[in-house]
Chain A
Amino acid sequence: MNGKSVAAVEADSIARAFGARRAVDGVSLRVHSGETLALFGPNGAGKTTLLRLLGGLIRPSGGRALVGGAKVPGGSPVRRQIGVISHRTLLYDALSPRENVEFFARLYGVASPRDAALRSLERMGIADRGDAPVRSLSRGMKQRVSIARATVHNPKVVLADEPFTGLDVSGARALSRLLGELRESGAALVLVTHNIEEGLSLATHAAIMHEGRLVRMGERASIVASEYADEYRDLVAAGE
């Protein structure tokens, strides 16, 4: 990672235990503005928990997480900078996409929430279905709305947990374009995905998580995609 002063999102020996189980066991990382960290790992490795820690949804049992230098979980100013894309849609089924996104736009204090919501939906190519209740949409369309919801406030830090779930080709393209735009405007991205090629194509840095710890963390430039996939498989197999 380059030596810029304040990282956009940072974890400092962060840990989280659930009873006896250590889901995240001392992870340290730094993602700077404009960087994208692709995080790979098998099920149960702790990736989702790590993302929840970085997003301030849960408290660490050890270590700490920082966004823009401020601790998370934190107050409103910190949370305004974070956008969370989950593999669950985090939507209200009875409301329309426009209502869902507008509600969150207002919560985040976005100026002209109605227009911002529309623009966000357009960005994900779902504006034409903006007024039907979310319940009536397919999984892929719901995911597009969910992404629009998570990014309507142009967050500086985007934490995406398998955001490509359910997306068709055009949806995936819209998402990649959106992530590119966000990155260009200075956002830092942490992207959890199972798809190594997809992840590597978007990333500036890549890491593998296994049993709560980061193994193998490095710059994208120094990775050869085909070898990486093999390395990943070996690493995971060795740990079992």
Chain B
Amino acid sequence: MKPTPLSIVAALAVVVTYVRAIFFTPTEAIQGPAQKIFYVHAPAAWVAFLAFGLVGLASVLYLWLRDDRLDRIAEASAEVGLIFTTVVLITGPLWGRPIWGTYWTWDARLTLTLFLWFIFVAYMVLRGAIEDRDMRARYCAVLGILGALLVPFIHLSVYLFRTLHPKPILLKPDTPSLPPEMLTTVLLAFGAFTLLYAALLRARYRFAVERDSAHRPDSHHA
């Protein structure tokens, strides 16, 4: 694939951000170097939810307008979103272990991300299980919308669970009082990841367009 301007900018942004994060941002006093995983974990989570939201939106629009492009956007966003969600689920425990002593905490955000992962996987499996393009688009759109509806209920269930089952107070992952250098790095990271998402989304979309046009001979024959 030839690199587009967007992907070049995105790659640059990522490189700049992480050079800054590793070498030019102060190490957090209490958590130590492991805290730097946060610069991957938090932006990845943001992108995961963004991707999920886009799948939901594209799904609604598809069922309304029946435009194939919307289906391809949903497909691309789901696959890219799955990657970022996996990154969140891997960096979470990697960060958690050195700091809190456990790999997994059932904190609200991580749990919600886990469910995002399940829904993304289900979405991809559903895609793979249907040959007919129209049916595939419709079915995935239904799943996309229902998945979006599910999110508040998962959140509420976990929230209610935690308020009724108080656990020892854990360090909150992103304390609001970040020193300015860290804040800048975090914001840079969010920006870089968003650009990265956009670039990957576009590439994946293009791939879908090419794949679909390859399957489409322009003839009358059955």
A19 interface residue per 8 A CB criterion = yes
Report whether A23 and B222 are in contact in the complex, using a CB–CB cutoff of 8 Å. yes
**Contact pattern, A 7-45, Cβ under 8 Å of B = 1, otherwise 0:** 000000000001111110100000000000000000010
Question: How many residues does chain B have at the interface if contact means C-beta atoms less than 8 Å apart?
Answer: 11
Report whether A19 and B222 are in contact in the complex, using a CB–CB cutoff of 8 Å. no
A211 interface residue per 8 A CB criterion = yes
Number of chain A interface residues as a range:
10 to 19
Contacts of A199 in B (CB 8 A): none
For window 195-222 of chain B, which residues contact chain A by CB distance below 8 Å?
215-222
Report whether A22 and B216 are in contact in the complex, using a CB–CB cutoff of 8 Å. no
Report whether B216 and A212 are in contact in the complex, using a CB–CB cutoff of 8 Å. no
Contacts of A25 in B (CB 8 A): 220
Number of A-B contacts (CB under 8 A): 22
Tell me, in angstroms, the Cα distance from A23 to B222 when the chains sit together. 7
Report whether B220 and A211 are in contact in the complex, using a CB–CB cutoff of 8 Å. yes
Tell me, in angstroms, the Cα distance from A211 to B217 when the chains sit together. 16
Tell me, in angstroms, the Cα distance from A18 to B131 when the chains sit together. 12
Report whether B216 and A21 are in contact in the complex, using a CB–CB cutoff of 8 Å. no
Contacts of A21 in B (CB 8 A): 221-222
- Closest CB-CB distance, B69 to chain A, in whole Å? 16
Contacts of A22 in B (CB 8 A): 220
Q: A19-B216, A20-B216 are in contact. Are A211 and B221 (CB under 8 A)?
A: yes
**CB pairs A–B below 8 angstroms (22 shown):** A18-B132, A18-B134, A19-B132, A19-B133, A19-B134, A19-B215, A19-B216, A20-B215, A20-B216, A20-B217, A20-B218, A20-B219, A21-B221, A21-B222, A22-B220, A23-B222, A25-B220, A44-B222, A211-B220, A211-B221, A211-B222, A212-B220
